[in-house]
Amino acid sequence: MPNRRRFLVLTAASLLPAAGRLVRPALAQAATGHASEFVKSLGDKLVAVVNGPGSDREKREKLTQIIDSAVDVDGVARFCLGRFWRNASPEQQKRYTELFHQVLVTNITSKLGEYQGVRFTMGRAQQRDDTEVVATVVERPNNPPTNVDWITSNTGGSPKIIDVIAEGTSLRLTQRSDYASYLSHNNNSIDALINAMRQQIAQAG
Amino acid sequence: MRAVIRRHLLVITAVLLSNLGGCATPPPADDTEAVAEFKETNDSLEPTNRAIYAFNDGLDTVIMRPAATAYRFIVPPPVRAGIHNVLSNLGTPVQLSNDMLEGKPRRAGDTTMRFLINTTVGVLGLFDVAKEWGYPDHDADFGMTLALWGLPDGPFLFLPVFGPSGPRDALGLGVNTAMDPFTWVGQGVAVRALDWSRYGFSGLDQRERHLDDVDSIKKTALDPYATFRSLYRQHRLAQIEDLRRDKRATIPVWFPQSGAPDTVIYSPAISPAY
């Protein structure tokens, strides 16, 4: 029955590309599913702390833990210094990165009151280059709903947040242009930036 | 009283004029990275822009922010939402004209359906029923239309009262006003009063919606001016990318779809430029 065999082979061959097409989105879906789960659990944790009981200081400690475990803060810090990172001495890089951690936590905790009663809904997740983009809608009292995309990267082995995009505006790009402008108006002095950051943390106290 | 106001205006004008023509100093040509950054920032009128920013900031601190805070305090959230919806519904002619000039039939259809549904079922635009029925709102203005036609945004401009802009978006703002039938329809005290209360409520509505965000930016940014500049440009870029990517077919949802892609390829509008 050569005819039958040929038929089978042909059928199998014609199915292969289709199978390949089925497998590949499935793989991508698995990856983005992972990212979705990660963002969902991170969001749940953040909402639980923000809306939960406890003093501001306790909340600050909890938030610091969550941020340090879920966000690639060192990477974001380096990105935000842009071209000035290479000009900085190792000592300056170290001090800047430490301060950046504190500024990030301070900025987030200073919004605790404003975020009281926050809710979020999950949107779709998409693969984009080597990152996954997870869309959410964040709703807080008194404010219109905001589209927030979480950019996660797996390069370090476990998923980490590398950027947050609110209504099309990237947190790290905005921060970088803030620092770049500050530096260009202060003789490109990294020490001046470090001092300004220190002052900012002291003021928020 | 009037003399005092006039003197203040004179001082403000003098300050603005003395800064006009003030151009940003480009970095030395041998520092190529700094030069690249200077070009990307594209803010050749920075000193003037900063002066206008300071002027607007003062205006905001004294008038707009307190007014918006009072508005939030006095008017309960559902009423504010209703006012926002009515204002948005009144923007239909401008939105629809731009949807059509952009050649986006599905957007024009959304706008038309939103107007028909919200004006009737939504009681003169008070309730956004259309959104629940599958006709979401979108942004449309002549600045975006020009961008889609290929006009670049140009150097950054900070406009008195109106805030961050550029030559393209400033032109868009003017054309939007000219496109608006309410600019031309009717005359007399009553119509003018209605027009001005619409502008007033628009201002209050917009400012109230951004109270928390603006406060937190001013608190956390080392250079708020540069931060607003970056945010404005990123937001415009994202709006224009959304518009460009909106290639929904004109076939209704209930009709058998042929060849219409069911997924939109997602790429957030990130440009390393800012």
Full DSSP string of A148-176: EEEEEE-TTSS-EEEEEEETTEEHHHHHH
* Least confidently predicted of A97-111, A126-140, B5-19: B5-19
| Distance (Å) of CA B173 to CA B142, B150, B169 | 7, 17, 6
Per-residue pLDDT band at A111 (split at 50, 70, 90): confident
- Which of A24, A138, A164, A184 would best serve as a mutation to test chain B binding (most B beta carbons within 10 A)? A184
Look at A177 and B230 and tell me if their CB atoms are within 8 Å.
Answer: yes
Q: Which residues of B touch A124 (CB under 8 A)?
A: 266
Distance of CA A10 to the CA centre of its chain: 48
Q: Which B residues, 34 through 63, put their C-beta within 8 Å of a C-beta on chain A? A: 34, 37, 41
Percent of all residues in chain A with a pLDDT value above 90, rounded to a whole number? 58
Whole-number Å distance between alpha carbons of A4 and A12: 12
Residue owning tokens 């219109």:
A144
DSSP state at residue B28: P
Q: Which B residues, 185 through 214, put their C-beta within 8 Å of a C-beta on chain A? A: 209, 211-213
Phi and psi at A120, nearest 5°, equal: -145, 150
Q: Whole-model pTM above 0.90?
A: no
Inform me whether the pLDDT recorded for A4 exceeds 80: no
Closest residue in A to B76 (Cα) is A142
- Backbone CA torsion sign across A116, A120, A125, A126: negative
A86 and B CB contact within 8 Å: no
**CB contact set of A8 (below 8 Å; sequence gap of 6+):** none
| Alpha helices by DSSP H, B91-223 | 92-101, 105-120, 129-132, 142-148, 167-179, 181-184, 189-209, 211-220
Whole-number Å distance between alpha carbons of B70 and B190: 26
Looking at residue A30, its pLDDT comes to: 59
Inform me whether the pLDDT recorded for A8 exceeds 70: no
Q: Which residues of chain B have pLDDT under 50?
A: 1-2, 4-5, 9-12, 15-17, 19, 259-274
Q: Which residue among B216, B242, B266 sits closest to A128, beta carbon to beta carbon?
A: B266
Contact of A108 with A63, CB cutoff 8 Å: yes
Look at B231 and A193 and tell me if their CB atoms are within 8 Å.
Answer: no
pLDDT one-digit tens code per residue, A27-46: 555 566 788 999 999 999 99
pLDDT one-digit tens code per residue, A145-176: 999 999 999 887 889 999 999 999 999 999 99
Q: Which residue among B72, B216, B222 sits closest to A196, beta carbon to beta carbon?
A: B222
Contact of A78 with A98, CB cutoff 8 Å: no
Per-residue pLDDT band at A195 (split at 50, 70, 90): very high
Looking at residue A1, its pLDDT comes to: 44
Structure tokens that stand for B141 in this block: 């203005």
Look at A173 and B234 and tell me if their CB atoms are within 8 Å.
Answer: yes
Tally the residues of chain A: 205
Percent of all residues in chain A with a pLDDT value above 70, rounded to a whole number? 84
Contact of B33 with A83, CB cutoff 8 Å: yes
Tally the residues of chain B: 274
Q: Which residues of B touch A126 (CB under 8 A)?
A: 266
**CB contact set of B244 (below 8 Å; sequence gap of 6+):** B148
Q: Which residues of B touch A200 (CB under 8 A)?
A: 220, 222
Q: Which residue among A110, A140, A151 sits closest to B219, beta carbon to beta carbon?
A: A110
User: The complex's ipTM?
Assistant: 0.80
Whole-number Å distance between alpha carbons of B137 and B151: 25
Looking at residue B266, its pLDDT comes to: 41
Looking at residue B274, its pLDDT comes to: 43
Closest residue in B to A141 (Cα) is B77
Whole-number Å distance between alpha carbons of A73 and A163: 10
3-state secondary structure of A112: coil
Whole-number Å distance between alpha carbons of B225 and B221: 9
Inform me whether the pLDDT recorded for A131 exceeds 80: yes
